[in-house]
Amino acid sequence: MAKNLLRNALRTCMRGGMLLSAVTFMAHGAKAQDGAADAQIERGRYLAIAGDCLACHTAPGGKPFAGGLDLKTPFGIITASNITSDRETGIGSWTLQQFDGAVRHGKSPTRYLYPAMPYTAYVKITDADLADLWAYIRTIPPVSNRVVANKLPFPYNIRALMIGWNMLFFNRSPFTPDTSKSAQVNRGAYLVEGLEHCGTCHTTKNAFGGDTRAAYQGTSLQGWYAPDLSNNTHTGLGGWSADDIVTYLRAGTNRHTAASGPMTETIENSTQHLTDADLQAIAAYFKSLPQRTVTVPTPLPPGNRQMMTGAREFVVQCSACHVSNGAGIANMIPTLQNNPAVNAPNPDSLINIVLRGTNGPVTAANPTGAAMPSFGWKLHDDQIAGILTYIRNSMGNAAPAVLASDVGRARKAIDAQQAVWH
């Protein structure tokens, strides 16, 4: 009987040990699954930052990703949607396949999207990255915010027209690495052409809003001019080193210039948070682009009437910060000498900066940010036009003159925008 009791006790211990082992195994498995899910969500969070989702899907003063931001386009106003996990007003009821349809193919479960949502670039996102991005988007807390309808006149309010637009202008090709380029350049191409969607702002558009073949050569956008990113030294990045590009995307300023306008948000919300490896990859890609030659105009002579009045105004209004010769202060006040942004064929950004003033991006690398006060309250249109014409045709620069009517048009647009805000 003692033997039987001993035998039963051993069996009970063995069973208990097996059960304990099974429970321990399952616990470790659950932790591994949780860890894998957490890692996927973190990868997705990084991809959302690279894609700058927050900037467009968050209204001023609104909850993150809850939509409501009005995007001004040549065809009317498009209001960004709510992409939180709210099931009624957001995308909480969507599946991965429906998310894929919207992000990479421009079609939500109920309608075609306009290319203000850059699906024409996001089509380059890989399946794995899309799944990671969806895993993160699903964790965004729900916000009930029913976004108002777009303000598009006829016929642009007919979404079915996007079927034809997509046939004409939407290149559905996935990202394909260039085997003749390094892994670093290919990584940069993937980011620039896809997630960062640089061409959405910096590539010239045709009359229908489709990309032209002038990739990254600059274009007008919401009253600003998205500058030339090609490798030419007069208006583009030809005079920038790879380190200059990295510094600009990380800090918002470098030895050539300081960010302003819409690029401020891009740097604050997106590029400053990228890894060093990804910033280096983006820089390597831009420096790998072919050299481009542009026709440099002949500068206006110093004796030109507008140049003479502009020179006098520059000394009074601008030289205290930018120095009399336009040299500025390195990494603080941008130099105006041989500056591609100054040489841009379109002066919209320069006019906006002078009229509005500007606050550069606040970044971890440059927590104070560059700033310039507004001169719109102080100077007349012809005074601003004279100053900008002088800057654009001296100090090693050469660009078309700025007219008082150019400044007046920009001033009216700013006044109208401020009236809406108030």
Of residues 172 and 12, which shows the higher confidence score?
A: 172
State mean pLDDT over 31-44. Answer: 82
State mean pLDDT over 350-378. Answer: 92
- The DSSP annotation for 127-138 comes to HHHHHHHHHHHT
State mean pLDDT over 328-342. Answer: 89
Residues contacting residue 21 through CB under 8 Å, at least 6 positions apart? none
- How far apart CA 55 and CA 349 sit, in angstroms, is 20
pLDDT digits (tens, 9 = 90+) for 74-93: 899 999 999 999 999 999 99
pLDDT digits (tens, 9 = 90+) for 164-204: 999 999 999 999 999 999 999 999 999 999 999 999 999 99
Residues making up the binding site: 53, 56-57, 198, 201-202, 318, 321-322
State mean pLDDT over 256-271. Answer: 94
**Strands annotated E in 26-178:** 70-73, 76-79
Supply the pLDDT for residue 34: 72
Give the helix ranges, DSSP H, for 293-403. Answer: 305-317, 319-322, 348-356, 381-392
Supply the pLDDT for residue 19: 42
Contact predicate 204/218, CB 8 Å: yes
Supply the pLDDT for residue 31: 53
Domains (range + CATH), the chain: 35-174 (no CATH), 305-421 (1.10.760.10)
- How far apart CA 133 and CA 125 sit, in angstroms, is 10
Helix (H, G, I), strand (E, B) or coil at 225: strand
Supply the pLDDT for residue 222: 83
210-218 long-range contacts (CB < 8 A, ≥24 apart) are 210/165, 210/168, 210/169, 211/120, 211/169, 216/286, 216/289, 217/292, 218/344, 218/345, 218/346
Query: pLDDT confidence of 40, banded at 50, 70, 90?
Result: very high
Supply the pLDDT for residue 418: 63
Span of 24-33, 52-61, 265-274, 391-400 with lowest mean pLDDT? 24-33
Among 275, 366, 248, 264, residue whose Cα is nearest residue 50: 275
Return the percentage of the chain with pLDDT > 70, whole number: 91
What mean pLDDT value characterizes the chain?
90
HSE at residue 125, side-chain half, CA atoms within 13 A, is 29
Query: pLDDT confidence of 8, banded at 50, 70, 90?
Result: low
pLDDT digits (tens, 9 = 90+) for 144-167: 999 988 999 999 999 999 999 999
Return the percentage of the chain with pLDDT > 90, whole number: 81
Among 331, 183, 320, 163, residue whose Cα is nearest residue 244: 331
Supply the pLDDT for residue 185: 98
375-381 long-range contacts (CB < 8 A, ≥24 apart) are 375/317, 376/411, 376/414, 378/317, 379/313, 379/317, 379/354, 380/404, 381/405, 381/407, 381/408, 381/411
Supply the pLDDT for residue 137: 97
Residues making up the binding site for heme c: 53, 56-57, 198, 201-202, 318, 321-322
Residues contacting residue 254 through CB under 8 Å, at least 6 positions apart? 240, 244, 247, 248, 331
Question: Sign of dihedral through CA atoms 167, 131, 141, 190?
Answer: negative
Query: pLDDT confidence of 263, banded at 50, 70, 90?
Result: very high
pLDDT digits (tens, 9 = 90+) for 282-330: 999 999 999 888 899 999 999 999 999 999 999 999 999 999 999 998 7
User: Any idea which residue has 């079915």 for tokens?
Assistant: 160
pLDDT at 38 over 90: yes
